[in-house]
Structure 1
Amino acid sequence: MAKSKVITMWVIWLVAFPSLVTYAYMEFKPDFSEQWLDLLAFAIVICAVAVFPIKVGNITVFFSNGVSLAAFLYFGLFVELILIQLSLVVLFVKINLKKDEAHRIPTNSTMFLLTSVISAWVYYALGGTHGILTFDTVEQVIPLVGYIVAIILVNQIFLSVFQWYMHGENLLAYPKSLLIDSGATLLAFPLGLVLYLMYVQIEAIAVFFVGVPFILLSIVFSYYHNTQLINKYLHTTSEIGHELSKSLNVKSVLDTFLDEIKYLIPASNIYVFDVSNESRMMDLIRFMDQEGNQLKKDLKLFRGEGFAGSVYEREKSIMMMRKKDIDQLNPEELPDETKSVMGVPIQRSGKIVGVLTVSSNELNAYEKYHLMLLEILANFLSVAIENARHYESAKTKSQRDQLTNLYNYRYFIEHIDEYAKDLEAKGIKENLSVIILDIDSFKAINDEHGHESGNEVLIELANRLERLFGHYGIIARYGGEEFTVLIKGMPHNDVIQIAEDIRYSIASEPFILYKTIDGNVEVQEINVTASIGVSTYPDQCETPQELIRNADRSMYVGAKRNGKNKVASIV
């Protein structure tokens, strides 16, 4: 919110408050010499009502209008002004007004002041008076009706104006929050009138007799609204769980989780720790700051260390709302300005596998239902991560060769096919090349050194290809002792040179075998060569799907049959 707007509201309040209160006192000169106990009773009831507000959007609704109506009818404008302002003080204390919401003090105070004064002018203009009234004549009823209508209309007008000025909302819109505020005002006025009539008859004791229903009404509506709010949050939480279930990898799960949780739970910072039960160490795997940025932050905590470590050690959720309690844990992971924090363990199969922490720079930022929501979200996160890991594991097994961990034949073929279709759909012409290599005399290696040694050669060859040529494209184990490389967007002659580099990297450096004989490890070096075939689309074939067949033919016809340890390509 613009600082200039906040300053403007404070200036208006500093002018309006003393002026209007002084005006009301000087104009009506109230005499309370024998009614201080009565006024105290009104003050107690209106403050009790303010303890149970209802927050709807940017508006806080409470049933103080009924009490203030009774006070206005008997004592006049000055008493009503003071009682309303007193109830606002209690309200702000109750809702724990945040620092960035301080503008609500002048805004609400000014709005209630102006509403009271304008409504009183309407009341007086229609011939209204104070003291003992019976409302058995039209002359007394009309001012009362005018006063009630004026309060509702003027209050709604000022609410709309302030919402427009402070929050940029549509000036002509009539949101649900304003409708609820009007309904609460209409509901409070009949009770206020009953309070007034009983006060005329039995004085101060009537304030408490009728005040109790006021307080109970406030409690019932407040708890009902809070229940509806919690149900709404639970529904949102369920939707987050549904969104998490759609994510098929751990990174996507965590990204989705942090993006969604910031809209549900107020937080300056969010932390997700991964627990290693073997080392009793926690690693920070996700961190989000108050601007919503997901940042990389290297942090490790031992069990019992810091706030998150305490959650891990106690194996239960922790919520702290006082800075001195937080500081006692020496939470090095939390910023110094942290004033409220919650942490919940992430459990799986009865074991703690992580810790979820949210912190706020505001005092008393959280309530018990926030902790409940966080615990539910932690369970959703645990299940979603586990499902994603299972999916990733299954996907890896279906795409990767078990021995070398390179891509397998199936993935290689499917990738070429999908990529070719994508190019065709987009109308893009791009070179695609396949390099296929076969280890020369691999059967002889197995016969002479054993199949385990043959596997060692395959693993070492895969490692060399990945290390030296993995940046060029996709490398796969085609089957047996054959390997393939897919290279995109490169001229055929350049691909031929890469194939020569591959051939040389295999032939120039011996492969080391380790044999264990009678408990002793024997190291042996063997020389390995490979025959290589290359094919490029569209230079050597009409469709990308023909690449492997042409490369394979080039390898056998042009390399194997011409002495091996060569690179060949069909021109």
Structure 2
Amino acid sequence: MISTLKKRLIWISYLVFSPLLFYIVYHFSPETPDFMTIEFSIFVVLSIIVALYPIQTEDTILFLINGVSLSTFVLFGLFAELVLTTLALIALMIRSNIKADEHYRYPLNLLMFQLLSVLSAGSYYLLNPYINPLSFYNHSLTLLVIYMFVHLIGNQLGLYVISRYYFRNKEIKLYDSHLKFSIITCLFTVPVSFILIYLVEELSIIGALIGAIPFVTITLGLNFFYKSKMNSTYLKKVNSLAKNLTEKKRRSEVIETYVKSLAQIFPVDALSYFTVSPEEELHRIVVYQETKGIETMKEAFLVNNQSILKQATWAKDILYFSRSSDWKKYCINDITYPAESALVLPVLSNNEVTELILLSHRTKNMYNDMIVSLIKILHQYFAVALDNAVYYEQLELNSETDYLTSLPNLKGFSKKLEEALAGSLESVSLIVMDLDRFKLTNDTYGHQAGNEILKQVARLLESSVISNQLVARYGGEEFVLLLPGYSKKEAGELAEGIRNQIDRHSFTISQSIQNTTSSSVSVTASLGVATYPEDAREADELITTADKAMYIGSKQKGRNRVTIAKKGSYQNAVKETS
């Protein structure tokens, strides 16, 4: 961001030097022909047409003013060329919708081009006595080529010096695509300029009109070519991203990839990602800003009914705006960063909006029809990838969840255990619990009654642990508890509390093979405790150790007790039989 002081210096420099340049050129230029003619008016109109149809590449805006300015310099003199260049530049900058905080670009560009015109003309006049001219209709081709060369190289050097040393842009290069483009366009604009000079001197007004046709044709042709080229570049990036999105399996990965790619492929200063509840309540979960990167959050977001976010939710379609006056007065809370252009992308699931993405840019008219159409294509890929990721996560969750108790099953538990042990520097304890004589319970009351008891045991165990702990159904009537950060002593105390709670609890069964009314059943449990890294170094070894403690130390010694594993033996913590 350029400082206020530098902006003021640019304006002061322009207000001082620009009038001075015009004065010096008008009074001291070697040749100042009368330029208040119809032919010159045609040249001015031609230069403005060229300016109104600039060639927009991925990183800059270019226009073919050099060819017109060269012809103007030869036919009407340097002062006329300064006037024409100034008018064309003003038209170009108005067409470009330069935002308010960058209005310093007006004086900067004007002064730079005015200095380039004087520098190019100066080289023409200084070298005129020393160069044996290769004549073209009473004009030196050599000097005209020198004029264009000085203008071309001077422009590139000026851009480099100002960007690097005034704006502190260290990424600027002396030779870049901008210079390459200028060299290529000079190869055919210079000959066209010579033709224009010839036609005007031979045919006057008719010649000016005929000579303007090639310039307009070249401008429109190159404009179309670069738009097509940019379109092709965007499509390649969109296809690459679409392939990348389909490879992501997690919803969070899909969203992160999409957000980053939108910011990399398309012009985006800032981006916000919202979730939308069935009641149309918004929560912002991701914010991207060009200067800060991606930030995740979870914040409630209040908007009024005139907000573009609300409008997109109701419309269920992409909305885009060219300038802040069209939308920002209704969206005080939508974004807090500077923005002119805005684009809202609704994400639909079952024909309902479940998420919203808000893109913005500080430049007006940034989201044209071409960009919007490409974003629509990419957004469709994103919606499919997001649905696939949600479906995949649901399948994975189902495969890791016990259908009866809704607890994690062996697969889900094993994954969590591996994660807990991976690089852990603290104790991780495990409790394995098995309900005593549960086969007899099933045989007495029926399997449906046994299932009811298992569900109630699952809820009881869930109520015994805190957020970072895990309860899982290990299989049959066996359960397991994962306790990160728990010492062996703490795990043993928790295990005893669970054993005592189950022992004293009456489990209600509504379906029994013995009767049709509800009845209460009592069960007991045997538990084994093992701790990482004291008892085991690997996940499987830790499970085996806790399992052996439960079977050998508790089951075989009377049941309804807790056994804490020790190296080489098993120790009963508290023995309490019913």
Instruction: Name the TM tier (shorter chain).
Output: 0.7 to 0.9
What do the CA deviations read for 1:240-291 (whole angstroms, capped 9, x no partner)? 2233233322122212222221223334553445566xx5736445442544
Could you tell me how far apart the structure 2 residues matched to 1:145 and 1:89 are? Answer: 26
Alignment RMSD (CA, Å): 3.5
Contact 1:507 1:528 in 2 (8 A): yes
Q: Pick from 436, 439, 455: which aligns with 2:435?
A: 439
* 1: CA distance, partners of 2:343 / 2:414: 50
Percent of pairs with identical residues: 28
Match of 1:209 in 2: 210
Distance (Å, rounded) in 2 between the aligned partners of 1:444 and 1:43: 102
- TM score, norm. by length of structure 2: 0.84
Structure 1 window deviating more from structure 2 (428-437 vs 61-70): it is 428-437
Would you say 1:462 and 2:458 are equivalent positions?
yes
Match of 1:288 in 2: 287
C-alpha distance in 1 between matches for 2:118 and 2:16: 15
What is the 5 A alignment of 1:241-252?
Answer: 241-252=242-253
Work out whether residues 287 and 297 of structure 1, in 8 Å CA contact, stay in contact via their aligned partners in 2: no
Is residue 150 of structure 2 the alignment partner of residue 144 of structure 1? no
Q: What SS does the corresponding residue of 2:407 show, helix, strand or coil?
A: coil
Instruction: Show the counterpart of 2:574.
Output: none
Per-residue displacement from partner, 1:311-337 (whole Å, max 9, x unpaired)? 343343332325454369x55763486
Deviation at 1:449, TM superposition (A): 4.9
Amino acid at match of 1:53: P
* TM-fit CA distance, 1:369: 1.6
Cα distance in structure 1, aligned partners of 2:36 and 2:419: 88
Residues 64-100 of structure 1: CA distance to partner in whole angstroms, max 9, x if unpaired? 1111111111211111011111111111112222335
Q: Which amino acid aligns with 1:107?
A: L
Residue 475 of structure 1: aligned partner: 471
Q: What SS does the aligned partner of 1:2 have? A: coil
Cα shift readout 1:107-159 (whole Å, capped 9, x = no counterpart): 3222211111111111111338xxxx97356x834432332232222222222
User: What is the match of residue 300 of structure 2?
Assistant: 298
Q: Quick one: structure 1 residues 158 and 270, their matched pair in 2 at CA, closer, same or farther if it must change by over 3 Å?
A: closer
Local SS of the residue matching 1:199? helix
Q: Deviations over 1:179-237 (max 9, x none)?
A: 11232234322211211111112222322211121011011111211211122122222
Letter in 1 for 2:524: T
- Structure 2 vs 1, CA of residues 162 and 385 (structure 1 numbering), >3 Å: closer, same or farther? same
| Matching residue of 1:484 | 480
1:76 alignment partner in structure 2? 77
Partner of 2:10: 9
1:493 and 2:489 correspond: yes
1:555 correspondence with 2:550: yes
CA deviation vs aligned residue, 1:1-26 (integer Å, no higher than 9, x gap):
33144444333323321111111112
Partner of 2:240: 239
Q: How many residues align?
A: 554
Letter in 1 for 2:464: L
In structure 1, distance between residues paired with 2:224 and 2:315 = 32
Q: 1:57 to 1:103 in 2, by over 3 A?
A: farther
Q: Which residue of 2 aligns with 1:155?
A: 155
Q: In structure 2, what is the Cα distance between the partners aligned to 1:497 and 1:201?
A: 107
Q: Which moved more, 1:220-229 or 1:430-439?
A: 430-439
Question: Distance between the aligned counterparts of 1:548 and 1:323, measured in 2?
Answer: 61
Give the direction of change, closer, same or farther, for the CA distance of 1:477–1:173 in structure 2 (3 Å limit). same
* Paired amino acid for 2:496: E
Q: Name the structure 2 match of 1:307.
A: 308
Distance 1:264 1:445 in 2: 64
Listed one character per residue, the Cα deviations across residues 540-559 of structure 1 (whole Å, up to 9, x for unaligned) are 56865333333233223332
1:298 maps to amino acid: A
SS at match of 1:248: coil
Q: Which deviates more from structure 2 when the two are superposed, residues 198-207 or residues 561-570?
A: 561-570
User: Which of 54-63 and 64-73 deviates more?
Assistant: 54-63
The equivalences for 1:510-529 within 5 A come to 510-513=506-509, 526-529=521-524
* 1:500-535 deviation per Cα after TM superposition (whole angstroms, max 9, x unaligned): 132234334544555699xxx977554443211123
Q: Map Cα deviations across residues 34-54 of structure 1 (whole Å, 9 max, x no partner).
A: 833222211100000111212
SS of the equivalent of 2:365 reads coil
Q: Is the 8 A contact 1:346 1:382 kept in 2?
A: yes
Residues 516 and 88 of structure 1: is their aligned pair in 2 closer, same or farther, counting only changes over 3 Å? farther
Aligned-partner Cα distance in 2 for 1:538–1:97? 65
460 and 205 in structure 1: CA distance in 2 versus 1, 3 angstrom threshold:
farther
Give the Cα–Cα distance (whole angstroms) in 2 for the partners of residues 256 and 463 of structure 1.
38
Q: Distance in 2 between matches of 1:20 and 1:529?
A: 100
Cα distance change, pair 430–171 in 1 and its aligned pair in 2 (3 A):
closer
- Could you state the TM-score of these two structures normalised by the residue count of structure 1? 0.85
- 1:298 aligned counterpart, secondary structure: strand
The answer (yes or no) to whether the contact 2:302–2:333 under 8 Å persists in 1 is: no
SS in 1 for 2:364: coil
Find the aligned partners of 1:7 and 1:367 in 2 and give their Cα distance.
Answer: 33
Map of 1:107-506 to 2, 5 A cutoff?
107-127=108-128, 135=136, 140-165=140-165, 166=167, 168-169=169-170, 173-274=174-275, 279=278, 281=280, 283-284=282-283, 286-288=285-287, 290=289, 291-292=292-293, 293-299=295-301, 306-323=307-324, 325-326=326-327, 330-331=330-331, 334-335=334-335, 339-347=340-348, 354-413=355-414, 431-447=427-443, 449-471=445-467, 473-488=469-484, 490-506=486-502
Asked if the contact 1:433/1:534 (under 8 Å) is kept, the reply is yes
Corresponding letter in the other structure for 2:250: N
Partner Cα distance (2:418, 2:327) in 1: 57
Separation in structure 1 between the aligned mates of residue 473 and residue 432 of structure 2, nearest angstrom: 10
Q: 1:474 to 1:35 in 2, by over 3 A?
A: same
Q: List alignment gaps of at least 5 residues for structure 2.
A: 565-569, 572-578
User: Does the 8 Å contact 1:126/1:146 carry over to 2?
Assistant: no
**Structure 1 pair 172/236, CA: closer, same or farther in 2 (3 Å)?**
closer
Equivalent AA in structure 2 for residue 251 of structure 1: S
Gap change, CA 1:255 and 1:562, over 3 Å in 2: same
1:301 to partner: Cα distance: 7.5
Question: What is the CA–CA distance in structure 2 between the aligned matches of 1:171 and 1:417, rounded to whole Å?
Answer: 49
1:40 alignment partner in structure 2: 41
Cα distance in 2 for partners of 1:324, 1:12 equals 32
Separation in structure 1 between the aligned mates of residue 258 and residue 35 of structure 2, nearest angstrom: 63
1:107/1:162 contact within 8 Å kept: no
Would the aligned equivalents of 2:98 and 2:363 in 1 still touch at CA under 8 Å? no
